[in-house]
Structure 1
Amino acid sequence: MAHLVYIDETGSVGKGANKQKLLTLASVLVHEDKVQPLAEKFRQVAWKHLGWVPADFELHGNEIWNGTGPWRSLTPAGLIAVYEDAITVLNDLDVGVSYASIHKERLRTRYGGDADGNAYLLALQFLLEKIDSRYAGNKILIADEQKEHQLRAVKMVADLQDWGGGEVPGTKLKTVIDSMHFVSSHASPGVQLADLVAYALQRHWNERDSHPDAKAAIGRITDVISQHTGTWREPWPA
C-alpha cells in the first residue's frame, strides 16, 4: 500500500513575494485508500458553505482567507469556518504533513544570487529526504504545476532515486517510486490540501493578521497542522 505525497509551494513568486522571507514546499501524505474520501470531503465543504459545487471547483487557501472567487459572498466568520472545516480532513483521514523551507535572503547572501533560481529544487530535495526517512512504505509524488521547474525537478528526483544526487550532496531515496508527476491543482484535492497547509503556515510565520479573530483562527488552523506534522526541515541556509 502506498501513500500519495501531494506537494505545493508558497512564498516564491507573485504579489507580496518580497514580504515573504521563506520559500516553503509543503506536502500532505494521503494513504491510497483515502484519496477518494478526500475528494468527497472537499465537495461536502462546498455544499455546506455554498450550497453548490462550482465548475472547476477547488479549495484555494488565498481565495478562502481573502473571500474571493466563489467565497466572495461569505462573511469573515464564514470564511474562517470554511478554512477550519477543510483543514479538519487532516484529522478525519489521518493525513501526515511535512515541509521544508529556503530562506531566500540568506540563500542570496551565501551564493551572491547565483542560486536564487534553485530555491524550489533545494526545498524539494530537503522535503523528499525528510519524507523518505520518516515515513515507511512506498510513495508517489504529485505536485502542483511548475512550468519553470518541472523538467529539472523530474531529473533531480531520478538522480536522488538512482544515486542520491541533488542540488547539494544528498541521500538516495529508497521509498519514492516512479517519477515526479505534475498536475493542475483544480484536478487534485490532494494538491489543494497541500496548498491550504502551505498558505496557513506562511501566513502564521509572516504574522500577517492583526484582527484578533483572524489571529486566533490561524492559530487554531496551524495547531491542527502541527499535530499532523511528522517531519520538517528548518529554514536553510541557517
Structure 2
Amino acid sequence: MPHIIVSDEEATRTIVMRRPEKKNAISRQMFLTMSEAINSAQSNPDIRCLILTGRSGVFTAGDDVADFVDDASAKRDPAKARSSVIFLQALINNKKPIIAAVDGVAVGMGTTMVLHCDYVIAGTTASFLSPFIQYGLVPEGASSLLLPRMAGHQRAFSLLVMGRPMSAEEARVAGFVNVIVPPGHAIVEAQKAAREICALPPEAVAISRKLLKLPTEDVLRRMGQEEHLFADRIRSPSVIAAVKGFLHRKK
C-alpha cells in the first residue's frame, strides 16, 4: 500500500498521506514523493491548485521519529539536504495555490506545512502541536518567521516555544485556519474551494498570490538558519536521549 497517494481530478492535484499504522508519520520516502508531486505540478498547466490532506482521521503525526535517531547518529554531509528540507523547499518554491484539509492532529511538520498553505480547512477535532522544544530542538521550515506574522508573537511563542497545542478554533482565531467543518468533511470542503480557485483567471491568481506571500528568498533564508541550528541540536546527547526515550515509551 503506498503511503502517499497522488491523484489529479480536473485541475486539482490531491496529495494524501496514508500511513494509518503510524498516524501518517512521514518517512523520508514520503517526503520525497510529496516533493515530486508538488514540483512536477509547477510545469503542468493543467494543474491549477493543490490539496494536502491525510486519511484515517489524522492529518499527520509529523516526521517519523525513528528517522531523527538515524539522522542524529549518521555522519553529516553538509551538501546533502534532509528529505524533510527538500519537501519544505518544494512548498516554499511552489507557485500554485495550495489548500490544506486537516482532520485530526497535525504534529510538528504537520503544523509547519500548514503554515505554507494558502487556504486551510480544519475539522472540529483538528489540533496543532509543535513539540520540537520538548526534545531540545528548534522550529523548522521558516515557521519562526511565518507564524508570528500570522498569529502574533505571543501565540507563536505559546505554540513553538512552550509547545502548547492549539485547537482548530484557536487556530482560526490566530489566523492560519480559514474554515472549521465537522469531522470528515475537510476534504470535501477543500475540493469545493479548489474548484472555486480553479474557476478564477489563473494569471491573476498567480500574481495576486505572489503579492500576498513573503518573498521566497526571505523564507528560504530563515529556513536555512533554522536548519543549521536544527542540525546542530539533533546531534546533542540530550536531544538523542530525549528522542530515544520517546521511541522507548511508544513500544
TM bucket normalised to smaller:
under 0.3
Greater share of strand = 1
- TM-score when scaled to structure 1? 0.25
TM-score by length of 2: 0.25
